[in-house]
């Protein structure tokens, strides 16, 4: 490998000090904690290029693992710009499948079984064998549970207990029945002679474990590893990675615990946060300079992640904005979902009139059921929009067909005018300058072909003299790198689907209690993940940000409140000053007592005892509450536990953390007699958990 100047400006000169430390830390182990918009992809691609340039790593023996084909394509494109070729940038499944296809015939004496094209159909058959409903939502949720059990290495026999412990529910189906569905699903696959998506990883781990000579070949082929989005790694993916790595430690992992939003699908951020335990000599680098968003957006994101009114929480990664000031985020509450959707459309239209392209705007929401009202409002306002993302763009049937036809024409008449000839050819496949009316398959096909035309226009803009042969060659090169285009329209997407993307303007719609956090997210861990999900949505915006909610989805569905995560951060809910002594008696009345989190009235006895709504976020330590409950059981000595303290009082104690007897008396549900009887024990337990 030829060595070169390690300070080559294309490699290190454009990096900030922290990014440069990432690039220069070769070989591994290295863990990079990279906040949103801090240039993590730039840092790791420059690290790979720098290692190749100084001869510290062979690019042909380097494997960069990503979670999407789009990210893999982006990484390959950046490496190509840096003059580095030969690096394999693939998803876990893509890299594992190539290995299986190569080694399976040699090791098992037959071709690798085909990967099933439809997990849904197999799960539906397994559900039918157990006399379960055939509704699409039920089958879809069962399919997700099958995948979760596999990526977390949960067997059907252990599934019921683990599912109950993790509070996993599938449409009210008993966990033992779900376990039976999983068992039948595996049997049906075997009957059909197929494997599924997750079997690709399971078979890879099994093959490398059973055949040491194959493992040795794989480890000889790949010696330097980079894993992006490491907070999203599942136990199964971690097993694959460790099988690839063997006894070596030349591993760089990059991730952000604050963007861990896929635990329900099996992601375990602990692999990232505990990396230095597995690799004690690892270097840790933190990237906190945010180059994406304005200080106003960054400030709100930091406050959502580190709520200023929760003073007992340990601070997480705090981003430092590097861009100039921009507009303040817009917060608006509305009466109904329809009213909110119309206001979002109006906001987008106003930004477009001020020069922002439609494709540089997005509307994000928590669940797909929120999309129809937004689609209707955008259609009525004549705002173009794209619902489907650009993932696996070049694998869409209409794109494969279009590229084949373009290639055929380019072979026959390569010197035709590039862009004009391309549009004429695509017009014969269903493309037109104007979108078809309505939604459905015709609209999706048009969106795909229109995106291909947009990509060709970008190519022609860089070289106005380019001919058809040149345009097609560049399209094929981008297809090989999986560099997908951006659609010409406002993007509509869920918060989960928005991760890894960014726009000039972002509207977050439906940010109300029951949506964010989602109504089924009840445990502290689940609520914390919902907070991170909102953080992800906020950090998608470069400059303009709008957050809205509605109080009613329609007749009979009134009474929703703004998300608890926005309390204290919006102009209408900033923390109120404490009452003066002269007002103290009035503040104690039932109607005037306020929730210490959202500042709204407390209307039930349970809420008043807690000092907050039961739906508003709690700040107690779960381990402390568990210890208090254990002590209460002993103190009750066979009597009902509530005669000592109710659950609400224990939660209030865990939240208030009183340190003296007078402070104990200030907690609702604690009187002088209970302080005299239990005060010393309670304070001792609290002291053990005090920071």
Kindly report, residue by residue over 312-323, the tens digit of the pLDDT.
444 467 899 999
Confidence at residue 3, expressed as pLDDT on a 0 to 100 scale: 43
Kindly report, residue by residue over 564-581, the tens digit of the pLDDT.
898 888 875 543 333 333
pTM: 0.69
Q: Mean of the pLDDT values across residues 509-537?
A: 88
User: How far apart are alpha carbons 390 and 477 in whole angstroms?
Assistant: 17
Hey, what are 50's tokens?
A: 């720098």
Query: pLDDT category, 486, cuts 50, 70, 90?
Result: low
The sign one gets for the Cα dihedral 504, 375, 487, 497 is positive
Confidence at residue 356, expressed as pLDDT on a 0 to 100 scale: 92
Per-residue pLDDT at 429 exceeds 90: no
User: How far apart are alpha carbons 319 and 295 in whole angstroms?
Assistant: 9
End-to-end CA distance of the chain: 53
Selected residue with higher pLDDT from 3 and 606 = 606
Confidence at residue 577, expressed as pLDDT on a 0 to 100 scale: 33
- DSSP per residue, 461-506: HH-TT-BHHHHHHHHHHHHHTT-PPPPSSEEEEETTTTTT--EEEE
Confidence at residue 690, expressed as pLDDT on a 0 to 100 scale: 79
Please, what's the b/e burial string for 158-186 (b: 16 or more CB within 10 A of its CB; e: otherwise)? ebbeebeeeebebeebebebbbbbbbbbb
Query: pLDDT category, 471, cuts 50, 70, 90?
Result: confident
Confidence at residue 407, expressed as pLDDT on a 0 to 100 scale: 87
User: Among 594, 36, 608, which residue's Cα sits nearest to residue 304?
Assistant: 36
Q: Mean of the pLDDT values across residues 194-203?
A: 89
Kindly report, residue by residue over 151-187, the tens digit of the pLDDT.
888 888 898 888 888 778 787 888 899 999 999 999 9
Per-residue pLDDT at 72 exceeds 60: yes
Selected residue with higher pLDDT from 6 and 482 = 482
Kindly report, residue by residue over 398-419, the tens digit of the pLDDT.
888 888 888 888 888 878 888 8
Please tell me the least confidently modeled range out of 6-15, 201-210, 505-514: 6-15
User: Among 291, 351, 352, which residue's Cα sits nearest to residue 320?
Assistant: 291
Are the beta carbons of 33 and 256 closer than 8 angstroms? yes
Query: pLDDT category, 539, cuts 50, 70, 90?
Result: very high
CB neighbour list of residue 567: distance below 8 Å, 6 or more residues apart: 309, 573, 597, 598, 599, 616
Are the beta carbons of 88 and 57 closer than 8 angstroms? no
User: Among 504, 475, 307, 304, which residue's Cα sits nearest to residue 399?
Assistant: 475
Kindly report, residue by residue over 302-358, the tens digit of the pLDDT.
999 887 655 444 446 789 999 999 999 999 888 888 889 999 999 999 999 999 999
Confidence at residue 590, expressed as pLDDT on a 0 to 100 scale: 37
């Amino acid at each position: 490998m030829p060595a070169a100047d390690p300070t080559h400006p294309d490699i290190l000169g454009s990096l900030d000090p922290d990014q440069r430390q990432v690039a220069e830390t070769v070989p591994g182990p290295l863990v990079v904690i990279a906040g949103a918009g801090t240039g993590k992809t730039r840092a790791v691609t420059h690290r790979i290029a720098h290692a190749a340039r100084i001869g510290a790593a062979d690019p042909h023996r380097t494997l960069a693992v990503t979670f999407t084909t789009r990210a893999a394509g982006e990484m390959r494109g950046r490496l190509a710009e840096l003059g580095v070729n030969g690096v394999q940038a693939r998803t876990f499944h893509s890299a594992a499948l190539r290995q299986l296809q190569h080694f399976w015939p040699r090791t098992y004496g037959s071709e690798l079984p085909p990967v099933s094209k439809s997990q849904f159909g197999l799960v539906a058959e397994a559900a039918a064998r157990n006399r379960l409903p055939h509704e699409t939502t039920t089958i879809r949720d069962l399919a997700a549970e099958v995948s979760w059990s596999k990526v977390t290495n949960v067997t059907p026999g252990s599934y019921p207990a683990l599912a109950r412990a993790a509070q996993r529910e599938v449409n009210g189906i008993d966990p033992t029945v779900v376990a039976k569905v999983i068992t039948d699903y595996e049997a049906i696959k075997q009957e059909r002679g197929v494997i599924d998506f997750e079997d690709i990883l399971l078979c890879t781990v099994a093959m490398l474990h059973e055949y040491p000579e194959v493992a040795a070949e794989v480890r000889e082929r790949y010696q330097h590893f980079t894993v992006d989005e490491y907070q999203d790694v599942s136990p199964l993916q971690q097993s694959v990675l460790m099988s690839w790595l063997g006894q070596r430690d030349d591993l760089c992992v990059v991730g952000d615990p604050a963007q861990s939003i896929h635990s329900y699908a099996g992601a375990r951020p602990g692999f990232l946060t505990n990396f230095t335990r597995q690799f004690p000599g690892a270097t840790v680098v933190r990237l906190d300079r945010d180059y994406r968003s304005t200080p106003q957006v960054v400030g709100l994101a930091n406050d959502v992640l580190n709520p200023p009114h929760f003073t007992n929480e340990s601070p997480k990664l705090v981003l430092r904005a590097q861009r100039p000031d921009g507009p303040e985020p817009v917060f608006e509450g509305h009466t109904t979902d329809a009213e909110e959707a119309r206001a979002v459309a109006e906001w987008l239209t106003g930004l477009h009139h001020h020069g922002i392209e439609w494709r540089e705007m997005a509307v994000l929401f928590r669940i797909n059921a929120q999309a129809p009202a937004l689609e209707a409002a955008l259609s009525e306002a004549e705002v173009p929009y794209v619902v489907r993302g650009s993932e696996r763009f070049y694998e869409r049937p209409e794109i494969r067909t279009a590229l084949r036809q373009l290639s055929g024409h380019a072979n026959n008449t390569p010197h035709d005018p590039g862009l004009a000839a391309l549009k004429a050819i695509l017009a014969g496949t269903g493309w037109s300058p104007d979108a078809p009316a309505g939604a459905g398959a015709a609209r999706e096909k048009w969106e795909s072909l229109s995106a291909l035309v947009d990509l060709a226009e970008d190519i022609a803009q860089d070289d106005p003299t380019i001919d058809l042969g040149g345009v097609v060659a560049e399209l094929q090169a981008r297809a090989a790198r999986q560099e997908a285009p951006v659609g010409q329209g406002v993007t509509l997407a869920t918060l989960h689907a928005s991760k890894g993307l960014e726009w000039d303007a972002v509207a977050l719609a439906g940010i109300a209690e029951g949506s964010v956090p989602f109504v089924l997210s009840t445990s502290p861990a689940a609520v914390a993940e919902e907070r991170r999900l909102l953080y992800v949505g906020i950090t998608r915006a470069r400059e303009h940000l709008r957050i809205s909610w509605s109080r009613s989805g329609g007749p009979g569905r009134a009474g929703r409140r703004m998300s608890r995560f926005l309390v204290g951060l919006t102009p209408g809910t900033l923390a109120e000053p404490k009452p003066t002594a002269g007002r103290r008696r009035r503040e104690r009345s039932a109607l005037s007592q306020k929730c210490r989190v959202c500042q709204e009235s407390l209307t039930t006895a349970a809420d008043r005892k807690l000092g907050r709504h039961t739906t508003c976020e709690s700040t107690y330590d779960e381990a402390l509450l568990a210890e208090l409950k254990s002590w209460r059981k002993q103190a009750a000595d066979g009597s009902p536990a509530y005669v000592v303290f109710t659950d609400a009082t224990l939660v209030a104690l865990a939240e208030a953390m009183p340190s003296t007897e007078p402070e104990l008396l200030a907690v609702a549900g604690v009187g002088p007699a209970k302080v005299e009887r239990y005060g010393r024990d309670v304070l001792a337990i609290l002291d053990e958990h005090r920071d």
